[in-house]
Amino acid sequence: MPNQSSMKLMPNKPRVAVTQSTLNAESNMLELLHLPLIKIQPLTFNEDILKKKYDWLVLTSKNAVDILMKHRDKINVDYIASIGEKTSERIRSYGLEIDFEPESYTQEGFIETFDTGGNLEVLYPASKNARPFLKESLESHGISVQKIDLYEPVPDEESINRLKVLFHEIDAVTVSSPSAAHILHQYFPADMLNSKLITAVGPVTAAALDSCGIKSVLPEKETLTHMINLIEEKYRGAFDEF
């Protein structure tokens, strides 16, 4: 029988609650639990808005892409702009080309590099809860922006209840939007969340978490894969000790 005092037991894999709507990442080091915080509720809108011709269609989320593509035959635009790697991937999956996308996956990065010259007409379908910065900044440059509230994020009660049950076993949580940050805080107090490793997808989400008193860390790039890579780095030292 081996000497039990000399045995080294490998720790269980750290458990990560992935709260995005889709789990499109993998990890050999971590146990990824898909526990979305949000469900997408499509909204009705005046489809006559789509009959007008626009210079630019600006898309900022894959949810907006999927919902808008149901009205694809009615859209009349010259160019398409995208914010975010996943948004761009979803646009291209419909066989569409992207004419402009900023290197920084933020509204601020978009405004810094988008050519705001000319008398432009922009169609901007997005979440009802989308930050007003992009629309207001374009309008401040004399651009006409038609925003469509395509959908609104609502709490995924079933998934949140699962997270409540499993919370004491969770080591880290990914948060991918300001809406998700506020919903997370609605159901879990800040001091409880600050006992976990909270990873925000980007600075805007981190700012939303901070406004709720929740500390977070940021990945190198604003993707779930980079969030998972960051969490792996945080835990790799602990595993190296064994």
pLDDT tens for 140-154 read: 999 999 999 999 999
Query: CATH number, domain at 46?
Result: 3.40.50.10090
pLDDT band at 232 (very low <50, low <70, confident <90, very high): very high
Do 54 and 139 lie in a common domain? yes
Element (H, E) at 228: helix 224-240
**CA atoms of 210 and 213, how far apart (whole Å):** 5
**CA atoms of 155 and 179, how far apart (whole Å):** 9
Do 169 and 140 lie in a common domain? no
- In order, the DSSP letters of 53-122 are -EEEEEE--HHHHHHHGGGGGG--EEEEEE-SHHHHHHHHHTT---SB--SS-SHHHHHHHS---SS-EE
Cβ proximity of 72 and 56 under 8 Å: no
Do 186 and 228 lie in a common domain? yes
pLDDT of residue 69: 96
Choosing from 131, 151, 171, the residue where a domain stops is: 151
Nearest to 173 by CA among 230, 213, 120: 230
What the block records as the tokens of 87 is 């948004």
pLDDT tens for 32-88 read: 999 999 999 999 999 999 999 999 999 999 999 999 999 999 999 999 999 988 899
**Locate tokens 């066989």: which residue?**
95
pLDDT tens for 156-189 read: 999 999 999 999 999 999 999 899 999 999 999 9
pLDDT tens for 126-143 read: 999 998 999 999 999 999
The Cβ of residue 67 has, within 10 Å, a number of other Cβ atoms equal to 18
Residue span of the structural domain in which 229 resides: 4-37+156-240
Nearest to 110 by CA among 86, 137, 146: 137
Do 140 and 49 lie in a common domain? yes
Do 46 and 130 lie in a common domain? yes
**CA atoms of 199 and 215, how far apart (whole Å):** 9
**Locate tokens 């999956």: which residue?**
93
pLDDT of residue 85: 85
Cβ proximity of 235 and 30 under 8 Å: yes
pLDDT of residue 103: 85
